[in-house]
Amino acid sequence: MRTLSSAILAVFAVLLQLRVSMTASYPAQKSFLQCLSDHSQSSLPISSVTYFPNNSSYTTVLQSYIRNLRFMSPKTPKPVFIVTPTHVSHIQASIICSKIHGLEVRIRSGGHDYDGLSYVSHNPFIIIDLFKLRSINVNIEDQSAWVDSGATIGELYYRIAEKSKIHGFPAGVCPTVGVGGHFSGGGYGNMMRKYGLSVDNIIDAVVVDVNGRVLDRESMGEDLFWAIRGGGGASFGVIVSWKIKLVVVPEIVSVFRVEKTIEDGATDIVYQWQYVADKIHEDLFIRVVVLPVNKKSHQTVKAKFVALFLGDAENLIALMDQSFPELGLSCNDCIEMSWIESVLYWSNYAKGTSLDVLLVRQPESEKFLKKKSDYVQEPISKTGLEGIWKKMMQLRKPALTFNPYGGKMSEISESETPFPHRSGNIYKIQYSVNWKEEAVEAADQNLDRIRMIYDYMTPHVSKSPRGSYLNYRDIDLGTNSDGNVSYSEASVWATKYFKGNFDRLVQVKTEVDPDNFFRYEQSIPSLASWTNVVAE
């Protein structure tokens, strides 16, 4: 018992020392608070939503929206303070005072960014956490909605379904993702072949810029409005809310989930899926999740085919029989339900689960994780697939998710929004590895695994550049390191996300944030800021 008590006391002492040292490093806490108060509305005191390390709620607020346990360790850099705005003036004050005191800003809406860039920095920083700004106003008459950045996708879906059984919105399948990051990075989901990405259905926004001005689409101008719809909003300002265009969905949709192992012919079926998935009717979205499986006698690979069809089961079966008979879909595999029920189905909730789960903002469990992404533009041969399965079984851990493109995605120009991955892509791959062990060795081993399968996939995926999806943040691609970087340095990673749109993003950044205040490891650089650094 003494040993255990000593260990607990030692841990407590370290944590206390960390908190004290952080507070001591910034003795100007009163100065910060005074600045924040001076630049926000006195009737809405910002002090009540500001958390310094010596506040008993600081750790809880910080950790509440950390979705990757890799960034919850004592060694992870912590913010000087956290502001959880309840009013736009709190955001304005946070920006102005951070500039005055030389602090960087991290903007967090849901915390699902895979590499933790919305709540970690190696420079002195604050977090503007938007989770208290989550108002949603649905207007069925004009088929639109205003949604705050701090709302989750699940909350948005729930509020739409409250008003209408025949409206939805094309966004992600994970209900706890924050709207702010999801929308500003693109926002894809299982209706993108029918209606495009989230950003293709955004018609207005409210943003606080580097000077603390509150701007809508008209006052910010079309260049900035273009940039925040897929270019990563945190490079340009704090996006408070979005106006979205709702889409029409049928009263009855159909879903299925069919699993095939190598022994069941998974290789041939996945091979054929590549020739069908992006060309089949746009009402049908068939995802494939591929993962290694350990059976008693041997290892194998399992492919899970998960689908949403915007129509009834009879028409789904007819379409599958005509276009993709290799899967062998039967009536027993198909389930009819409402669109909002399909949201729960895709989130792996049991049939009959209350829709109220969409209002739960915390995932059931947190994990240590790493994700990466790729785009496939030519079908991978059967031999190639067999090689991938073999590599996956050797590595044991990483899962691959194939998301089909085509349909509406092929009709929209690469330059329409900063998100460029449109026509010519058959499907996107998400690489995923999760683990539960806290040890450094476990992290190193799993990071090695996902990097090895990513390297192995090089011959099979897009080239010049090898594409990547912004919302699957991946600092393996390169970073801005510390502070200002040149155009050429940033282009190493940025062309993977944005292709030819990077140039226009840099131009917008240089115009709206010339001193590069809004910066992080993969933020859009400012040419003016870089020029000033060189001149010095």
Q: What is the pLDDT of residues 192-242, one digit of tens each?
A: 999 999 999 999 999 999 999 999 999 999 999 999 999 999 999 999 999
Q: What is the pTM of this model?
A: 0.93
Nearest-angstrom CA–CA distance, 123 and 21: 15
Q: Are 419 and 232 in contact (CB under 8 A)?
A: no
Q: What is the mean pLDDT of residues 64-80?
A: 95
Q: What is the mean pLDDT of residues 157-163?
A: 98
Q: What is the pLDDT of residue 262?
A: 97
**For residue 454, what are the contacts with CB-CB under 8 A and spacing of at least 6?**
372, 374, 431, 476
CA triple 218-221-223, angle to 5 deg = 145
478-493 per-position pLDDT tens digit: 999 766 788 999 999 9
Q: CA separation (Å) from 119 to 400, 445, 500? A: 27, 24, 29
Is-contact 274 375, C-beta < 8 A?
Answer: no
* Dihedral sign for Cα atoms in the order 382, 383, 386, 391: negative
- DSSP for 496-508 reads HHHGGGHHHHHHH
Fold designation for 136-248: 3.30.465
| pLDDT of 324 | 98
Tokens 């950790």 belong to which residue?
Answer: 63
Q: What is the pLDDT of residues 3-56, one digit of tens each?
A: 444 444 444 444 444 443 444 345 578 899 999 999 999 999 999 999 999 999
Pairing of strands 247-248, 167-168: antiparallel
Phi, psi for residue 108 in degrees, rounded to 5: -125, 135
Domain positions in the chain: 26-129, 136-248, 253-335+367-457, 478-535
pLDDT at 388: 98
Token representation of residue 330: 């039967």
Closest CA to 401 of 424, 428, 434, 368: 428
Sort 30 into a burial class: Cβ within 10 Å, 0-12 / 13-18 / 19+.
exposed
Q: Residue 442: which H helix or E strand, with range?
A: helix 440-456
What are the Cα distances from residue 301, in Å, to 108, 304, 358, 488?
37, 10, 32, 41
Surface-to-core class of residue 307, CB atoms within 10 Å of its CB (0-12 exposed, 13-18 middle, 19+ buried):
buried
> E strand or H helix at 305, and its extent?
strand 299-309
| Percent of the chain topping pLDDT 70 | 93
CATH of domain 26-129: 3.30.43.10
Q: What is the pLDDT of residue 296?
A: 81
Model pLDDT for residues 312-324, shown as the tens digit of each residue? 999 999 999 999 9
pLDDT in tens, 96-125: 999 999 999 999 999 999 999 999 999 999
The two tokens of residue 446 are: 């799993």
Which pLDDT does position 154 carry in this prediction?
98
- Share of residues in the chain with pLDDT > 90 (%): 89
CB atoms under 10 Å from CB of 360, counted, come to 13
Could you check whether the bond before residue 379 is cis, i.e. omega within 30 degrees of 0? no
CB 206 within 8 A of CB 215: yes
Residue 30 Cα distances to 52, 57, 139, 215, angstroms: 11, 18, 44, 30
pLDDT(157) > 90: yes
Given pLDDT bands bounded at 50, 70 and 90, which one contains residue 530? low
**What distances in angstroms separate CA 431 from CA 7, 289, 422, 535, one per listed residue?**
38, 10, 20, 42
Between CA 438 and CA 452 the distance in angstroms is: 21
Helices (H), 150-248: 153-163, 179-185, 192-195, 217-220, 222-228
Amino acid at 319: L
Could you report the per-residue pLDDT of 325-378, keeping only the tens digit for each?
A: 999 999 999 999 999 999 999 999 998 999 999 999 988 888 999 999 999 999
Supply φ then ψ for residue 223, to 5 degrees.
-65, -45
By the 8 A CB rule, do 130 and 107 touch?
A: yes
DSSP 8-state symbol, 332: G
Q: Is the pLDDT of residue 79 over 70?
A: yes
Architecture of domain 253-335+367-457: 3-Layer(aba) Sandwich (3.40)
Report the DSSP pairing between strands 253-261 and 299-309: antiparallel
pLDDT at site 365? 83
Q: Which residue has the higher pLDDT, 39 or 536?
A: 39
Question: How many other C-beta atoms can be found within 10 angstroms of the C-beta atom of residue 535?
Answer: 6
pLDDT at 483: 67
One fold for both 136-248 and 253-335+367-457? Answer: no
Judge whether residue 247 has pLDDT over 70: yes
Q: Which residue has the higher pLDDT, 106 or 2?
A: 106
Predicted confidence at residue 484, as pLDDT, reads 76
How much is the pLDDT for 295? 84
d(CA 22, CA 352): 48
- Give 377-419 pLDDT, tens digit per residue: 999 999 999 999 999 999 999 999 999 999 999 999 999 999 9
